Structure 1
Amino acid sequence: MVVRRSRSVLLACTAFLALGLGTASYAQTTNQNDATADKAAPKSDRVTELKPIVVKGKASKDVLADSPTATETTAKEIDDNQITRIEDLGRSTEVGVGFDRTSGSVNIRGLQDDRVLTTIDGIKIPFLLDGAREADGGINSFDFNTLSTVDVVRGSDSSRAGSGALGGAFVLRTLEPEDLIAPGSTWGGVFKFGYNGDDRSIDGSAAVAKRIDNTAVLFEGGYTHGHELQNNGDVGGYSTKRTEADPADYNQRNGLFKIRQYTDVGTFGVTAEHFSKDTDTDWRSKQSPTGNFRPGNYDETDGIERNRVSLDYKYDADSADSLIDTANAVFYWQNLLRENGAEGYRYTSVIGDYWRRNEVEDRSIGFNGNASKSFDTGNLHHNVTFGLDVAFANTHQYSAGGDSCDLPRWAASCAFLHTNQSDMPDVDGKRVGAFIDDKIEIGSSSFSLTPGLRFDWYDYSPKNTDAYRDSANYSGLPSGQSDTRFSPKLRAAYQPQNNVELYAQWAMGFRAPDVSELYLNYGVPGGYVSYGNPNLKPETSNGVEIGANLGDDDFGGHIGGFYNKYKNFIDSERSVDPTGTYPLGITEYFNRDNVRIFGVEVNAHKKFDNGIHIKGALAYANGKDSDTGEWLDSVAPAKAAFTVGYATEIWGTDLTFITATSEPKKDGDSFRTPGYGIFDLTAWWEPEQVKGLSLRAGVYNIFNKTYYDALNVASTSLTQPHEFYSEPGRTFKLTLTQKF
């Protein structure tokens, strides 16, 4: 069965490549007469006509972002709003987007972790779930200075995205040479320098692109050095009374290289990308003058690194007679590594040196491609889009460490020292997805229907390793899991005029279980244990949404409402061990039968002729277990932002009010985050005397309000006073940008 499926994958890839080659051949045939005439001319009279670089806007969008529920943040808006982290989006352009710093995940419509799909240039960035040792996350392994756009796709729709897009998709596109090279020029560049007061960081980046004939190259690099993210606590010292953030230092590096070859049959390219961030924290909240870890002798380490190399292809037809209108394809290799650990010296329990280095790594190779074609059948106009996604990945988890326990690792006094082992087997994963949808416009009625269907197959194969066999709970290799899923959708839209779109959509989605949820085996007899569940079922969703996109850049907005139901929602719970083998309890993953989330999203903006502009946005979601009535911790309270500003051609300023409601009452919660309201003031200046120079500055949380982000509190064990978990108080940002 595995062999047959692998052959099917290869045949599908071959078919897609054959289609691309057929397109190239067709394009060459349509230009055959011109090519023949050129060959007949004397060599000295031939002229090499450079194909211009054209930014085609919407035509170049990622296929996932082609949706009425998607919104785009451009590189200019990233600069204008001084966005350096994902949470900055939720404070400016994307009020409904959150970021959980504990798990390292994007939150859209009340879902996060691997229920929100993150892609960069069409390549999935996997969310890594450690399950036991806090080496989670990985999707924030990019620098905003490398991005051309950020598209946020809201809603449960797997018809194009595949597994993991239950809450939506976070779609990133990196800079292309044409983003830097102005029309009529052969080169361009940008230099940025900034200071961010919320972590006292200084960053610099530079990007340059050059075009020589029909070849273009791009280089980008950046470096940031910073410290701990500030909170609004004012009590220093050590242990559980500390409210100030623990001191930290971090270094962040990124690099991007691209080469593009523009031809009559499309654009071919090579991309190489690197990102790394290392953080060292003086873990004072875990230290005590008389405790096991003393001042200056307990540090936390945290690291993330992502590397990828990809081969890219893009095609936009010059004629409606082409076999296909557009095509995009990427072959890639990617490696993502998350590390977390600690180092110190024990004074009272198992006296001596202590250290841990925990890691989760995902290595993948794959292909992602799509194409589209428009044609008419009678009174119907069709725009068919289809695609293929194939990936092979290996997931590896390991914990290394040392301590001064002289007894065997599993002895009672060493029960919590189990390390130098894997808490799950290595897992080889395969996935294949294929989709097709057809936007059918009915005559001149301005009405369209878009049916769509996606097929997904995944397969997990656990592999035994010496490190896994050496774990305390090893009882043999768990079984693998394989499943298939069809995800249909149907969207209806009515566009009575260019700046008005009404839509309604029904869509289904799914998420395959994470390998950690299936195969985690962490713990030791005499203590506690966390088990994966190899019998978990994939999550599925069934949702409806209605909404409207109105107006244009000067005056417009969006309003939408959604209702989603989820089956087999994966969660974990702790229970008492009736045998007494694990006296501190057993934690195990399970499927919830029924979960529902509903909500509304509204935004509007208006620009006046006198330079004044206003805008506002609101996001609200409500999520519960339909059977038990339990609230979902991942659903943030309602949040809104309102901005009034003034702009001329050379300077402008904005005052933004951001507010959120209090967290709903939840059973067993010791702390409900209160509602808040904060003000941000920003300004920019582009002096006429220096072409391409811009200065931006901002004062954030002007009145130094103590407030809390519910997402960062909900998933955190509250061992400190509440102020320890507060967001930054009054901070300042300054950014200088020079474009060439």
Structure 2
Amino acid sequence: NYNVQNGDHPITRVVSTIYGDATWNIKEQLSYTPTDKFSITGRAGYFFRQLVRTTATPERYRDFTGGLRGVWTPTEADNFELTYAFDQYDKSDYQRIAKIDVRDYSNVQNSFRLLYNHNLNGGDVLSVGADYMHDYLLNVNLEGRTRKQDSFDAFTQYDWNINEQWEAVGALRYDYFSDGHISRVTPKISLRYQPIHNLNLRLSYGMGFRAPTLKEKYYNFDMAGIWIVEGNPALKPEVSHNFSLSTDYTHGHYNYTLTAYYNRIKDKLATGAPYYKRASDLIPHLPYLNLGGYSVCGGEASAQARWSNGITARLSYAYTDEHLPKDKNNNSVNNQYIPARKHAMTGHIDWDHQFVKNYGLNIGLDGRFLSSVDNQEFVDYYDISKGIRTIHYPAYALFKLAIVQRFSKSVKLSVALDNLFNYKPEYYYLNCPLTDGMNLQVGLSVDVDKLFKF
């Protein structure tokens, strides 16, 4: 943990301490191919993070993941996939004096997927599949402590190669969620036109659907005394209509892409503005709700190049115009979150070279620029009666220089300088980047199966 320095006379509450953490991340994957028509892949992973806000009770976060995937290809035209995935995410508080670890949150998901692909004459592809997931949520802040839900979906997609210039893809998907018996059918269609061999034009429409999660419906959590995050069992699923138009052109070492999009979401799931339920309340409530109307449009332009000397470069620009719903006083109904910054640029350049069989080197530079944005925020989130002020978040840029050395095929040593030009915000308001200047990162990765040649 370390403290950060703010400028004089901040107009709202600022962050003064940034909490560090210690993390472990272990994962492995093994594959077995008994025949040329059948293969099995197994994976397992473990993630651990400890965050110390108070010395006596560090917060611990764990994630256990695993899965099996079987692929059967009985003919050149047919392919079957059966997948099982397990994910358990836990949060606990370790009591140092008593030396006990008290778990107060657990989310366990068991999911299955069956997928069938059939390749037809002319390059057409028919895909049919289904998913099932059992979702279990334990939280000491839930009424009854636990919630369970089963979800199911079935989908089909047809990829039609009309001729050398035209391609169309159509899909239908059905979703069902047991909690509330929510279901929906959503379509998707896209067209691709290729007037010349290195130019593509694409147009697509897709309907989106998202049911409220168990957390959004039933959560009840005291967020560090700021407010009580409150679930809403009456939440409706959100439905979106998404349109996009894009083109890409490739010539020699270069590729150029232009994309424009418009998304309209009805009943968007989000948290609203905090409020006091009763005059006697000391802590406000922050409810989950459905936003009456939300839309976003924008575009992106990118250029990338890859040369035979090992240099790769990419530059992209994105424009985002977000429209959030307002209340009767023209205030955003969920103003604790910063609006999207309208302009963003990212850049990357790297050089990669394999000097000898057992040693290679990659040197890369990444940069990101975000434009300024204004947001209405509470003067004090611990006392919302103090009112709202407009906070100006200035434009900023962050750069990262990374060097990765490869020893044989199994060991990688990485060294990086993040925030290369030592950017520091003048005020650490709620939504500013939490960086206190340049920092050094060192990492080592070992690919076990390649190391021991399993």
- Whether TM-score is above 0.5 comes out as yes
Separation in structure 2 between the aligned mates of residue 577 and residue 259 of structure 1, nearest angstrom: 55
Query: Which residue, 191, 201, 205 being the options, matches 1:502?
Result: 201
Taking structure 1 as reference, are residues 231 and 511 closer, same or farther at Cα in structure 2, changes over 3 Å only?
A: farther
Q: Is the 8 Å Cα contact of residues 338 and 375 (structure 2) preserved in structure 1?
A: no
Other-structure match for 1:537: 236
Partner of residue 433, structure 1: 153
- Tell me if the contact between 1:381 and 1:442 (Cα under 8 Å) persists in the aligned partners: no
Task: Determine which of 419, 435, 448 is the counterpart of 1:727.
Answer: 435
Distance 1:636 1:368, change over 3 A: same
Q: 1:607–1:337: structure 2 CA closer, same or farther, 3 Å change rule?
A: same
- What is the Cα deviation at residue 381 of structure 1? 5.4
Alignment check: 8 A CA contact 1:577 1:583 kept = no
- Once residues 512 and 437 of structure 1 are traced to their aligned partners in structure 2, the CA distance between those partners, rounded to angstroms, is 22
Report the 3-state secondary structure (helix = DSSP H, G, I; strand = E; otherwise coil) of the residue aligned with 2:70. Answer: strand
Q: Which amino acid aligns with 1:335?
A: Q
Equivalence for 1:642: 347
1:395-544 matched pairs, under 5 angstroms: 395-398=137-140, 422-423=142-143, 425-444=145-164, 446-460=165-179, 481-521=180-220, 531-544=230-243
Q: Within 5 Å, which residues of 2 pair with 1:134-533?
A: 228=1, 233=5, 243=16, 245-246=18-19, 248=20, 250-256=22-28, 258-269=30-41, 271-283=42-54, 298-299=55-56, 301-316=58-73, 319-320=76-77, 324=78, 326-339=79-92, 341=93, 357=102, 359-376=104-121, 382-398=124-140, 422-423=142-143, 425-444=145-164, 446-460=165-179, 481-521=180-220, 531-533=230-232
Counterpart in 2 of 1:110?
A: none
Runs (5+) with no aligned partner, structure 2: 8-12, 356-360, 378-387
- Please say if residues 597 and 622 of structure 1, whose CA atoms lie closer than 8 Å, have aligned partners that are also in contact: yes
Deviation at 1:563, TM superposition (A): 0.8
CA distance in 1, matches of 2:313, 2:281: 59
Equivalent residue letter for 1:726:
L
Distance 1:359 1:622, change over 3 A: farther
CA gap of 1:709–1:634, structure 2 versus 1, over 3 A, is farther
Report which structure shows greater RCO (CA 8 Å, sep ≥6).
1
> Is contact 1:601–1:620 with CA below 8 Å preserved after alignment?
yes
Q: 1:278 to 1:584 in 2, by over 3 A?
A: closer
Whole-Å separation in 1 of the counterparts to 2:241 and 2:57: 42
Partner of 1:61: none
The one-letter code of the counterpart of 1:273 is A
Matches within 5 A, 1:64-143: none
Deviations 1:19-52 (A, max 9, x none): xxxxxxxxxxxxxxxxxxxxxxxxxxxxxxxxxx
1:516 aligns to what SS in structure 2? helix
Letter in 1 for 2:176: W
In the TM superposition, what are the counterparts of 1:530-609 in structure 2 within 5 Å? 531-551=230-250, 554-571=253-270, 572-577=272-277, 580=279, 582=281, 584-608=283-307
Letter in 1 for 2:205: W
CA distance in 2, matches of 1:549, 1:315: 35
State the one-letter code of the partner of 1:658.
Answer: R
| TM-fit CA distance, 1:274 | 3.3
- Kept in 1, the 8 Å contact 2:256–2:304? The answer is yes
Which residue in 1 is equivalent to 2:417? 699
Kept after mapping to 2: 8 A contact 1:381/1:443 = no
Return the alpha-carbon distance in structure 1 between the equivalents of residues 310 and 80 of structure 2: 41
Query: CA-to-partner distance for each residue in 1:371-413, whole Å, 9 max, x for gaps?
Result: 211224xxx75311111001122211126xxxxxxxxxxxxxx
Letter in 2 for 1:727: T
How far is 1:552 from its partner?
7.5
Question: 1:72: which partner in 2?
Answer: none
Higher strand share: 2
Task: Find the aligned partners of 1:649 and 1:262 in 2 and give their Cα distance.
Answer: 33
Rounded Cα–Cα distance in structure 2 between residues aligned with 1:556 and 1:539: 36
Contact conserved, 2:14 with 2:427, CA < 8 A, in 1? Answer: no
Q: Give the CA deviation at 1:535.
A: 1.6
Residues 255/664 of structure 1: CA separation in 2 closer, same or farther (3 Å cut):
same
What letter corresponds to residue 245 of structure 1 in structure 2? I
Secondary structure at the aligned position of 2:373 is classed as: coil
Structure 2 counterpart of 1:469: none
Q: Provide Cα deviations, 1:271-314, integer angstroms capped at 9, x if missing partner.
A: 2523131314154xxxxxxxxxxxxxx55522222334433211
In the alignment, what sits opposite 1:713? 430
The answer to whether the Cα contact below 8 Å between 1:276 and 1:303 also exists between their aligned partners in 2 is no
Residue 675 (structure 1) aligned with residue 408 (structure 2): no
**Matched-pair contact (CA < 8 Å) for 2:418–2:440:** yes
Match of 1:224 in 2: none
Q: Given the superposition, is the C-alpha separation of residues 661 and 424 from structure 1 closer, same or farther in structure 2, using an over 3 Å criterion?
A: farther
Contact 1:573 1:589 in 2 (8 A): no
Give the match's secondary structure for 1:518: helix
Whether the 8 Å contact between 1:454 and 1:486 is mirrored in structure 2 is: yes
User: Which deviates further from its counterpart, 447-456 or 494-503?
Assistant: 494-503
C-alpha distance in 2, partners of 1:241/1:663?
A: 17
3-state DSSP of counterpart to 2:120: strand
Q: For residue 415 of structure 2, what is the amino acid of its counterpart?
A: A
Residues 101-130 of structure 1, C-alpha deviations (whole Å, 9 max, x = no match): xxxxxxxxxxxxxxxxxxxxxxxxxxxxxx
Structure 1 counterpart of 2:380: none
Q: Distance in 2 between matches of 1:665 and 1:696?
A: 38
Distance (Å, rounded) in 2 between the aligned partners of 1:627 and 1:244: 33
Matching of residue 664 in structure 1 with residue 397 in structure 2: no
Aligned-partner SS, 1:664: strand
Q: Work out the CA distance in 2 between the residues paired with 1:482 and 1:708.
A: 50
**SS class of match (1:517):** helix
Q: Is the 8 A contact 1:491 1:506 kept in 2?
A: yes
> What RMSD in Å do the two structures reach over aligned CA positions?
3.8
1:458 and 1:669, CA in 2 relative to 1: closer, same or farther beyond 3 A?
A: farther
CA distance in 1, matches of 2:292, 2:15: 41
Aligned length: 417
Amino acid paired to 1:657: G
The 3-state SS of whatever aligns with 2:217 is helix
Letter in 2 for 1:699: L
Q: Which amino acid aligns with 1:566?
A: I
Counterpart in the other structure of 1:142: none
Q: Gaps (5+ residues) in structure 1?
A: 1-227, 284-297, 346-352, 400-421, 461-480, 715-721
Displacement of 1:458? 0.4
Distance 1:394 1:674 in 2: 42
Give the aligned residue type for 1:260.
Y
- Give the C-alpha shift of residue 541 in structure 1: 0.6
The 1:608/1:709 distance shift into structure 2, 3 A limit, reads: farther
TM-score (norm 1): 0.50
The separation in 2 between residues aligned to 1:672 and 1:598, in whole angstroms, is 23
Cα 1:685/1:483, change in 2 over 3 Å: closer
CA deviations 1:585-610 (Å, max 9, x no partner) are 44433221111112222321123456
**Partner of 1:718 in structure 2?**
none
Shift of 1:555: 1.6
Shift of 1:581: 5.5
Structure exhibiting the larger radius of gyration computed from Cα positions: 1
